[in-house]
Amino acid sequence: MYKGSTIIALCVPKAYEHTEFIAELNESLLKYGYRLVIYHTCSDLYWNTESDMVEKTVFDLIDFDVIDAIVIYEEYYHDKEALQMVADQAELHNKPIITIGAENDRHINIVLDYERGFELVARHVIEDHHCANPHFIAGVRGEYHSENRIHTFKMILQENNIPFSDDMLSYGDYWFGPVQNVVNSLVEREELPDAIICVNDTTAITVCNELQRHGISVPGDVIVTGFDGIREAQYCTPPITTCHYDLPALVQEIVRNMRLALQGQDVEGIHSVDFVLDIFSSCGCERKIPMPNFGQIARENEDAFYGYFEMQRKLYELTEKAVACNNAEEIAERLRQVDFGDCIIFLKQTYFDDKINPLVKSEELNKNDSMCVLYTPEEDSIPLFSVYNENDMMPFWDILIRENRPIVLTSLGFWSNSLGFIASYFHIVEHEYRKINQYIAAINILLGCNQNVRYIKYTADYMEEMAKHDAMTKLYNRKGFYTALPDLVQHALDCGQLLAVISIDADNLKHVNDTLGHENGDYIICSAANALRNLDLPYAIYGRFGGDEFAACIAIGQDVAEDGLISMIQNRIHSINQNHAKPFSVSVSIGVHICEPEDFDFDVAYNQADIKMYEDKKRKRKI
């Protein structure tokens, strides 16, 4: 709940296909002071690809501390496991769950009675029009809904004493090509069927076109019916008799059960929603309907078409300009050049972390992370570059209350990495909601191209760093050491500090290698390196100059003595010896030379430190 408003979550894919449902649901919820937020995926999560994995991260944004109930339109999703995880979290937080198109003992289940709906169409053809030689074009062989409709078709034939034969059934695979082939084969028969009952409206539209292309009249020669109730079926010549689910009844069932559940009543179980028969002239019935203004429809479609491609052009230009952006500010500046309308674009702050390989699936990128606002028309309440934690990501609840329109949340990502999301609050019409998929695709490409460019830079930087470091100890090699040296000298000059140059050489390395093996010799080398690294001095560089030779240059205060630095290193070595079980002790010889940074010559200073190191080694041999 937020500011007295009950917040309802809806999980649905391809929101542009469900604008009528979303608009009706939103309007009904508003009557009771409820607000709708949509957790949306651009696809139905069918392929289980890397992009699907990114899309599903939108469900991680569901804040059950604010959400009061959740509706899952499970029928339109293929990835049931992802939805189950959402439901599990809702149950954990004791939130009511309504699933549409699925059955779960612990949820409120609303199912659409497809079998009964298809039965209405088939009975109308066979019983009302007395068709004795019907043909059914099913979908994909073995697919659930297709097989159920075949069963219903056969049942109605049997009830009407019409023998079923295999030539009364074909498969159109829900696709115009196979459907065309089916129609052509029917036309070549000696006798046409008196009716073609189609598995859905898209199939029926293709059937009508193909029959008319062959000079066959619909419904004069053949009755044609569809199923699903899509808008295009009414625009055909003739308009196609079909069937659609009762949208007001579905919404009424959702809201009624939700209100009871929020009041604490037990409303679990299965609640069925019926279908409504839409009788048009493709079956031979006369139904007076207002003639659509096809000129206006064509004009609207053309405007939408050109509007879509104009936005595509702008988004393409945006991608070109944003490819080489180096930070969030630069990308935001590019985004400002496109009017995205009522939406807010968030990007994870780790996106520009140069330490993360941009093209590797990264736990660091995919973990909960703070989000930065890159685009917003709400700068008064949600300023550009404001940062929000992913666990508290809803700076737009006030917009939800103000606009009375749903907020639609959709994930951004590339190469398995979740990179952010878009929160849109467009008007609930199809051409507006189609922008969501268009924006997501464009910005994902933008981020992907930008990541590719940054990957090249990352690889170059990584290789350069590898060239500067010793592979075993990860200390600088000579090249890296001398590259880093000027900055340290300048720091000492700026801060009035001295420079301590240190030469270190491991003792008894050859003896350990010869008697105990090179693995133990490597242990001595790494121990000496760790002793230097663990000095943890803020202004110092360390390098491995040879097999067991190490160098260091440290900016120190005026009061630091050579003996003090030697003691620090020996103490680290002593600590290492106390914490290992090797049959030997790690020992190093050390030489330190302290000098002024003015006219500093490292090689000269290092030679002096080297002399002192060998004096230390000689003293040990005499003992």
Which residue reads 């000079």 in tokens?
215
Domain with CATH 3.40.50.2300 in the chain: 114-246+277-283
Q: Could you tell me which CATH number the domain at 478-622 has?
A: 3.30.70.270
Domain with CATH 3.30.70.270 in the chain: 478-622
Least confident segment among 137-146, 201-210, 397-406, 422-431: 397-406
- Give the rounded percent of residues in the chain with a pLDDT score beyond 70: 96
Joined together, the tokens standing for residue 69 give 């109930």
Nearest 10 degrees: CA dihedral of 136, 140, 146, 150?
A: 40
CB 74 within 8 A of CB 80: yes
**pLDDT tens by residue, 65-119:** 999 999 999 999 999 999 999 999 999 999 999 999 988 888 999 999 999 999 9
Q: Which residue has the higher pLDDT, 298 or 197?
A: 197
pLDDT recorded at residue 271: 92
Least confident segment among 20-24, 394-398, 527-531, 581-585: 394-398
CB 446 within 8 A of CB 318: yes
Identify residue 305 by its one-letter amino acid code: F
CB 174 within 8 A of CB 203: yes
DSSP string, 39-101: EEESS-S-S--HHHHHHGGGGGG--TTTEEEEEE-GGG-S-HHHHHHHHHHHHHTT--EEEES
Given a cut of 80, is residue 365 above it in pLDDT? no
> b vs e for 233-245, b when ≥16 Cβ sit within 10 Å of the residue's Cβ?
beebebbbbbbbb
**pLDDT tens by residue, 270-318:** 999 999 999 999 999 987 667 677 788 778 888 888 888 888 898 888 8
Give the Cα separation of 170 and 184 in Å (integer): 12
Which residue reads 């039965």 in tokens?
119
Give which of 472, 490, 343, 319 is closest to 420, Cα–Cα.
Answer: 343
Q: Which residue has the higher pLDDT, 360 or 524?
A: 524
Q: Record the pTM.
A: 0.78
pLDDT recorded at residue 360: 65
CATH architecture entry for 114-246+277-283: 3-Layer(aba) Sandwich (3.40)
Least confident segment among 27-41, 249-263, 427-441, 452-466: 452-466
Give the Cα separation of 378 and 361 in Å (integer): 33
pLDDT recorded at residue 361: 58
